[in-house]
Each structure stands twice: as structure tokens, then as C-alpha cells.
């Protein structure tokens, strides 16, 4: 099968690229290396079935060329702005919205069969109206990034009559190669150094953390099952900041303790309902403790 992965040098994209390449698929990897790391694609020279293309999803002519004869597109390329993006939203719009639309158009013109779009839990309203958050939960993003990912979903809907489109809404992704997944990255570093783990707020804030290999598996299952629709991809496990810190201390065997910071954030709880992805895609993620244990072993 011939596969195109956009953002293939990024965190999740490089893990998906590695898996698809090793499974023998013919893979094109598109990345402009603005956020991706060339180290993530250096090993490709060892495989004859993978080709790296340095390019941008805003280049519509390039997209029309590289989508020829492609069976599946995994669209992971995106711009994740900082909190100041409200003052300069246009780059996020140009990459995440216009770039997605250009890719959909190119895929349509070249008769691509399957299009798998990486979306985000940020499309849902914050705070959540109810927990766990299923796919029918109101979408009302409160960030420029969330708006851009939702716009991409709507563009996918327009093209859904012409090709099979799967939308995957991710929770917070952690794993090998993650530059930053707070507070997991900081907590593990503090615990391994036997330093206090700093908790902001009262520690009751919660989230849903999903292991990167589970996200890769969900993408492959979306390709194999060929069941168009929207699916939540998380762990389905709600964990508070205080509980997360205690787990990491226990798993590392650290002598660390927890300390509360003077900084206070509003109470927030979040967890995805992954029932649909389990039943339709066969998705079965690791528990948080299993995923954390794998990451900790790398750092020890």
C-alpha cells in the first residue's frame, strides 16, 4: 500500500512512519522540519520503501504531485501555537485550516481512497459539559488551535462523500521523543533526580494522557477497519495532577515528595470516552501505569 504521512518528522508522525515503513508499506513522508526533527527520519536511508520530502502542506502544487497513486493519507502536520496566538492567529489558520483544505483537495483530485485526520480534544468545550467526553459532546473550542482543528474536521466533512475519512480526536499524548508533555515530562525528571515534584493549584485538576504507540495503533486500525467517522483516542482514564505525581514517584522508586506551588489555576477535569473507538476500531490502549513504566525505563 502506498501511504503519505504529513508531519512525518514530528513526534507522533515519526512513530507512525517507523511502523508503516517496517511493515513494508511504500511511504512518503512530508515535513518542512519547522517543528519536526530531521533525526527522526535519518534512518529512512536504510529502507528502500520510504522517501522523505522536505516540503510544506501550504504548497498546493506539491500536494497534487505527491498524492498521485497514494492509497492512504495520514494527515498529522499542524502548527501548535503558544497562548499568544490570539494576537497573531494567521499562521495557525494558514497551516492548519488552509493546509488541510489544500491536502483534501489534492487527495480528491488524485482519487485517494482513505484520509485519516489527526484532530484534538481541544475542539470540545472547556470546561467539559459532562464526563467522560464522548464524540457527541458539544464542540466549542476556546483556543485558536482548537478552532483550526475543528475547521479541519468540517473540511473533512465536505469531502467525506468522495473518500473514506476518519477523524481521530487525541487526548494529551506522551511517550518516547515527546519534547514536552506537561506535567509528565517534568515530574519524571524531578523524580529521577529525587527532587520535589511541583504541583500547581490544589492538585485536583485532571486530564487524560495517551501513550504515543496507542495513537499510532489507532491510526493503523482506522486504515485497516475502513470505518469512516469521528473517534476519541485517549486512555479513557482520568488522572489528577496529585495522583499523577504519586504514581511517578512510586514507579521510579524516588525519594521525592510533592510540593504545592503558589500559582493557582482554575479547577479543570477532563477525560475522553473511548467506547466507540474500542467497539468499532478495536482500539485497546495501555493503562497509564504501563505507559509511564515504559517511559521511565528509557530515562533510568
For 231-267, the pLDDT digits (tens) are 999 999 999 999 999 999 999 999 999 998 877 665 6
Q: How confident is the model at residue 35 (pLDDT cuts 50, 70, 90)?
A: confident
Nearest Cα residue to 170 out of 187, 145, 144, 193:
145
Q: How confident is the model at residue 46 (pLDDT cuts 50, 70, 90)?
A: low
pLDDT given at position 298: 86
Question: How many whole angstroms separate alpha carbon 132 and alpha carbon 238?
Answer: 9
Helix (H, G, I), strand (E, B) or coil at 272: strand
pLDDT given at position 136: 98
Question: How many whole angstroms separate alpha carbon 155 and alpha carbon 157?
Answer: 5
* Average pLDDT of the residues in 22-39: 87
Please give the span between the terminal C-alpha atoms of the chain, in angstroms, as a whole number.
Answer: 38
pLDDT given at position 44: 67
Query: Would the pTM count as exceeding 0.85?
Result: yes
The structural domains of the chain, ordered by start, are: 2-170 (3.40.50.720), 176-207+237-271+286-299 (3.90.25.10)
Cell of 290: 504501563
pLDDT-above-70 percentage for the chain: 94
pLDDT in tens, 187-234: 999 999 999 999 988 899 999 999 999 999 999 999 999 999 999 999
pLDDT given at position 299: 73
Nearest Cα residue to 177 out of 39, 286, 5:
39
Angle at 142 between CA 138 and CA 143, to 5 degrees: 130
Q: How confident is the model at residue 99 (pLDDT cuts 50, 70, 90)?
A: very high
pLDDT in tens, 53-83: 999 999 999 999 999 999 999 999 999 887 6
Measuring CA to CA, how many Å separate 289 from each of 86, 218, 237? 36, 19, 11
Cell of 247: 504514581
Q: List the catalytic residues.
A: 145
Amino acid at each position: 500500500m502506498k501511504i503519505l504521512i504529513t508531519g512525518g518528522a514530528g513526534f507522533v508522525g515519526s512513530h507512525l512512519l517507523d511502523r508503516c515503513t517496517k511493515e513494508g508499506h511504500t511511504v512518503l513522508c512530508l515535513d518542512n522540519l519547522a517543528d519536526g526533527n530531521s533525526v527522526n527520519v535519518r534512518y529512512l536511508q536504510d529502507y528502500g520503501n520510504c522517501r522523505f520530502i522536505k516540503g510544506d502542506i501550504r504548497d498546493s502544487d506539491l500536494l497534487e504531485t505527491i498524492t498521485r497513486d497514494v492509497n492512504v493519507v495520514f494527515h498529522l502536520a499542524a502548527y501548535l501555537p503558544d497562548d499568544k496566538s490570539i494576537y497573531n492567529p494567521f499562521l495557525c489558520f494558514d497551516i492548519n485550516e488552509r493546509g488541510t483544505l489544500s491536502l483534501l483537495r489534492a487527495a480528491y483530485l488524485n482519487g485517494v481512497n482513505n484520509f485519516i485526520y489527526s484532530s484534538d480534544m481541544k475542539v470540545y468545550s472547556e470546561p467539559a459539559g459532562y464526563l467522560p467526553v464522548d464524540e457527541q459532546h458539544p464542540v466549542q473550542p476556546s483556543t485558536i488551535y482548537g478552532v483550526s482543528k475543528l475547521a479541519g474536521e468540517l473540511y473533512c466533512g465536505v469531502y467525506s462523500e468522495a473518500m473514506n475519512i476518519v477523524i481521530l480526536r487525541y487526548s494529551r499524548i506522551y511517550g518516547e521523543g515527546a519534547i514536552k508533555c506537561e506535567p509528565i515530562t517534568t515530574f519524571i525528571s524531578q523524580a529521577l533526580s529525587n527532587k520535589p515534584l511541583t504541583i500547581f493549584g490544589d492538585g485536583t485538576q485532571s486530564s487524560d494522557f495517551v501513550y504515543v504507540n496507542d495513537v499510532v495503533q489507532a491510526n493503523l486500525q482506522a486504515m485497516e477497519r475502513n470505518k469512516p467517522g469521528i473517534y476519541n483516542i485517549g486512555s479513557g482514564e482520568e488522572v489528577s495532577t496529585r495522583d499523577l505525581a504519586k504514581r511517578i514517584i512510586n514507579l521510579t522508586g524516588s525519594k521525592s515528595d510533592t510540593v504545592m506551588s503558589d500559582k493557582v489555576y482554575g479547577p479543570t477535569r477532563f477525560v475522553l470516552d473511548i467506547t466507540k473507538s474500542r467497539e468499532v476500531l478495536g482500539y485497546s490502549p495501555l493503562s497509564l501505569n504501563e505507559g509511564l513504566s515504559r517511559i521511565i525505563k528509557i530515562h533510568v
